[in-house]
Amino acid sequence: MSVLSLPPAIFVMGPTASGKTDVAMSLREHLPVDIISVDSAQVYRQMDIGSAKPDRETLKKHPHQLIDIRDPVEAYSAGDFLKDAREKMSEISASGRIPLLVGGTMLYFKVLLEGLAELPQANQVIRNELQARADKSGWPSLHEELKRIDPSTAGRLHPNHSQRIQRALEVYLITGSPLSELQSLSKGQAVEDEYQVIQLALVCNNRSLLHERIAQRFRHMMELGLESEVKALYQRGDLSATSTAMRSAGYRQIWDYCDGLLTLEEAIEKGIIATRQLAKRQITWLRNWPNAHQIQVDNGEQYYSHANICNQSLKILREHPIL
């Protein structure tokens, strides 16, 4: 089957606070698209403010698939996303509309494009042992260990990226093989074999401007009630700082405040720093991302309007026979 005969799909990617959701909703005003969220925090119920989830009125006007589909006590993996996203894409295409996937969880986009290696299920005993070691000596020490075992994977991870360091070491301890080696044996049909995918990457000229925007947004989240949101999760009693959902930037730092480990102002500052680090990782992913059309979201001094960014996106999309 030729590429031109495949149904279309649109990806909108970019770092946190770059305006991805607004662009997606603007495109929905012009194109017959339905939105699928690509966000590892927005899948969870009760995590609204800190995940920058669109509010109820916005979701009523612009429905998003794969939002509020898990309780925070439940794990949600890239494999779960791959299954769920492909199912939603198929439903949207069958209805005669175009799936538009938007978010900043770059690993999720990667597994859609490349498939997913068959990896072992999580082993809670091994995870607990690794967590105990990290609590004693810090995640950077486990990162150094991962460098010796699997330099390829370690080279892609920040020394404090606890969840992925833990998973890489867990996979090695279970299988005896490096995670990068297993991932090279990718299985499952890539989404580009079934769809004509047009990828849009929102990029920032001025990193300082993005950092300023991240800080402003985080403090606005606090004004909206992020502290109360995390306290409600903390008081449930079935979550901990090591829960997958609570590892999200912002949530972990406010959780540490609830645990008495930080003052509120320290938690806010660390939350802003963690979000900036997340944006840096997202930008690194996008820098080496193949086949993505880059769209500038600022002119070096200020951000463009949503209408301007939407028009840049539409210009690229109209160069492809998707309409």
CA angle, residues 279, 80, 276, in degrees to nearest 5: 10
Q: What percentage of the chain reaches a pLDDT higher than 70?
A: 96
Report, as an integer, the average pLDDT of 130-137: 94
Q: Which long-range contacts does 108-111 make (Cβ < 8 Å, 24+ apart)?
A: 108/38, 108/40, 108/78, 108/81, 108/82, 109/11, 109/13, 109/38, 110/285, 111/78, 111/79, 111/81, 111/82
Is residue 273 predicted with pLDDT exceeding 70? yes
* pLDDT per residue as tens digits for the range 108-132: 999 899 887 777 888 999 999 999 9
Q: Are 138 and 95 in contact (CB under 8 A)?
A: no
Surface-to-core class of residue 103, CB atoms within 10 Å of its CB (0-12 exposed, 13-18 middle, 19+ buried) = buried
Pairing label, strands 292-296, 196-203: parallel
Is residue 22 predicted with pLDDT exceeding 70? yes
Q: Tokens 């938007």, residue? A: 102
Report, as an integer, the average pLDDT of 259-284: 96
pLDDT confidence of residue 253: 97
When mean pLDDT is compared across 34-38, 94-98, 159-163, 164-168, the lowest value belongs to 159-163
Report, as an integer, the average pLDDT of 260-282: 97
Start-to-end Cα distance in the chain = 19
pLDDT confidence of residue 4: 58
CA angle, residues 185, 189, 191, in degrees to nearest 5: 120
Of 259 and 122, the one with more pLDDT = 259
* pLDDT per residue as tens digits for the range 60-82: 999 999 999 999 999 888 888 99
- pLDDT, the chain, mean: 92
Q: What does the block give as tokens for 303?
A: 């951000």
Interatomic CA distance for residues 1 and 20, integer angstroms: 32
Q: Are 190 and 6 in contact (CB under 8 A)?
A: no
Q: How confident is the model at residue 11 (pLDDT cuts 50, 70, 90)?
A: very high
Q: How confident is the model at residue 99 (pLDDT cuts 50, 70, 90)?
A: very high
* pLDDT per residue as tens digits for the range 173-224: 988 878 887 777 666 667 888 999 999 999 998 999 999 999 999 999 999 9
Pairing label, strands 8-13, 196-203: parallel
Report, as an integer, the average pLDDT of 103-108: 93
The 10 Å Cβ neighbour count of residue 307 is 10
Q: What is the pTM of this model?
A: 0.81
